[in-house]
Amino acid sequence: MNPLNVGLLGFGTVGSGVWKVLNRNQNEISRRAGREIRITHVAARAEDGSFARAQEQCRSAVIVDDAMKIVRDPQIRIVCELIGGTTIARTLVLEAIAQGKHVVTANKALLAIHGTEIFAAAHEKGVMVAFEAAVAGGIPIIKALREGLTANRIEWIAGIINGTSNFILSTMRETGASFADVLREAQARGYAEADPTFDIEGIDAAHKLTIMAAIAFGIPMQFDKAFAEGIAKLSSDDIRYAEELGYRIKLLGMTRHVAGKGIELRVHPTLIPAKSLMANVEGAMNAVLVKGDAVGPTLYYGAGAGSEPTASSVIADLVDVTRMHTTDPENRVPHLAFQADKLSDTPVVPMAEIQSGYYLRLRVLDRPGVLAEITHILADQKISIEAFLQKEAASGETEVNIIILTHRAIEKNIYQALAKIEALETVKGKVTLLRMEDLQ
C-alpha cells in the first residue's frame, strides 16, 4: 500500500521524539501497521527555535510555520497535534476533523476541557481521535481501559500520574528536605517547569484523571468538576509521621463509581499503605491501578513523561489509526474512547459527600484531658479512630503534635468536627488534614 501521510504539529520535546522513534523503527512499525507511516509535513515556530531544529533533523519533510496549512492539506490523512494548550490547539483539531482527517494528540488539557466537543465532532464526521499519550506518557493506560478491560465494570481508578510531584514527594521522604528545597532541585534537573503550578497544584493530574474517568464510566469530560489539591503545603513532618504509621504520601488521582451517588473525581495528597506497590513508585515514574469487577486490580507502571516514552504512545496511536484507516470505512468501529452520543448523565460527587480515611495533625497543649475533648467531638460526628500518635514535647515546650488516623468517614462530617476542634482553647492553629486510601 501507499504510505499514509501524517502532518506533525509541533516539534518540541515530544514532536522531535516522535520523528526520531518513527524513523529509527520504521521497518518494524510499518510491519505492525500494515503500511508505511510517513511524516511528510512538520509545523514549527521560529521564535522557540523548533523551526530551525525541524529543518536540521527532518530533511525528508516540508517544514512550515503555519500549522493550518498542514491541517488543510488534502494529502495529509492524519494530523498529529503536539502543540499543547487549549486555544490554538482546539482550533486546529476541530478544523482537522472538519476536513475529514483523523487526529492523534497528546494534549491532556485540551481533551479534559474540550474533549466532549471534540469527540462529538469526530463522531459526526466519522473520523478517529486517538490520545494514548495524553495520560501517563508511555504507559498504555488508555488502550487498557478502552480495550483490555472492556469486559469489566470499572469500580475505581487510582493513579500517580504526575512525575514532578512524585519526584518531589519521593525526595522529601528520602532526604527529609523541605518542599521548597526539593522543588528547586526538581527544576534544576528538568523535572519541573520554571512555573510548576500545573504540576504541584494537582491541575495536570486532574486533566489526566478527567480523561480516564470519562473512558472508564462513559461520562462527559468534566474537568471543571474535578477536585484538585496540590502538594505545596505538605511538610516534611507529615511525610515522616505517615512513615511512622506505616503509610507513604503520594499525589493520587482517584475516580470511583459510588452506587446511588455518582462518580468521585479528585486529586490530592493521599496516605497509602507503605507496603503497597503504589507506595513504592518512586522518582518521576507513574503508575495507575485499575479495579475491574471481573479482573480485580491491575497495575500499569512506567515513564509518565519524556521525549521517547511519550513518543511511544503517540506512534502506537498512529499505528492504530493506520490499521483502522485501511479497513472498510463503512464497517469500522470509530476509534473513540466512548460513544459521544451515548454519554451517561451520572453526576460527579461533591467533595463534601465523598468518603475516605483521614490523617489529622493537631498542635495541642500538653496537658490532661485534651485527647478526650477531641475524641468526643469526633464521636459526635460519627468518626471513629483507627490509630493515634503523640509526639513528646521538646524540652521547655508546652505544646505537642498529635496525629490521628480515622476510619472512613464522610468529608462534610470531618470538616464539621474540625471546626469544633479548632475552636478548643487547647488546640493551637489549624488542623492539617490529608486523606487516606487503602487501595483495596
In order along its 440 residues, the chain shows pLDDT tens digits of: 789 999 999 999 999 999 999 999 999 999 999 999 999 999 999 999 999 999 999 999 999 999 999 999 999 999 999 999 999 999 999 999 999 999 999 999 999 999 999 999 998 998 999 999 999 999 999 999 998 999 999 999 999 999 999 999 999 999 999 999 999 999 998 888 899 999 999 999 999 999 999 999 999 999 999 999 999 999 999 999 999 999 999 999 999 999 999 999 999 999 999 999 999 999 999 999 999 999 999 999 999 989 999 999 999 999 999 987 665 555 454 555 556 667 889 999 999 999 999 999 999 998 889 999 999 999 999 999 999 998 887 777 889 999 999 999 999 999 999 999 999 999 999 999 999 999 98
User: Any idea where the domains of the chain sit in the sequence?
Assistant: 4-137+307-325, 141-303, 356-436
Predicted confidence at residue 337, as pLDDT, reads 53
Torsion angle, CA of 233/239/240/246, rounded to 10 degrees? Answer: 150
Q: In whole angstroms, what is the distance from residue 261 CA to residue 419 CA?
A: 26
Q: Rounded to an integer, what distance in angstroms lies between the CA atom of residue 193 and that of residue 100?
A: 36
- CATH classification number, 4-137+307-325, choose in 3.20.20.140, 3.40.50.720, 3.30.70.1400, 3.40.50.300: 3.40.50.720
With CA atoms as reference, report the closest residue to 148 among 332, 298, 333.
298
CATH T-level topology, domain 356-436: Alpha-Beta Plaits (3.30.70)
Tell me what pLDDT residue 335 has: 52
Question: In 3D, which of 211, 261, 202 has the Cα closest to residue 107?
Answer: 211
DSSP secondary structure, 291-327, as one string = EETTTEEEEEEEE-SSHHHHHHHHHHHHHHHHHHHTS
CATH code of domain 141-303: 3.30.360.10
Would you state the pLDDT for residue 341?
67
Cell (9 digits) for 116: 466532549
Cell of 313: 504512545
The predicted pLDDT at position 343 comes to 81
Longest dimension (CA), the chain: 82
* Spatial separation of the C-alpha atoms in residues 73 and 41, rounded to whole Å: 10
**Encoded amino acid at 118, one letter:** I
pLDDT value of position 327: 57
Per the rule left: phi > 0, alpha: psi between -120 and 50, beta: everything else, 429 is left
pLDDT at 190 (0 to 100):
85
Task: Give the pLDDT score at 328.
Answer: 53
The set of catalytic residues is 208
Q: Find where cell 488546640 sits.
A: 427
In angstroms, how far is CA 334 from the centroid of its own chain?
Answer: 25
For residue 340, the model assigns a pLDDT of: 65
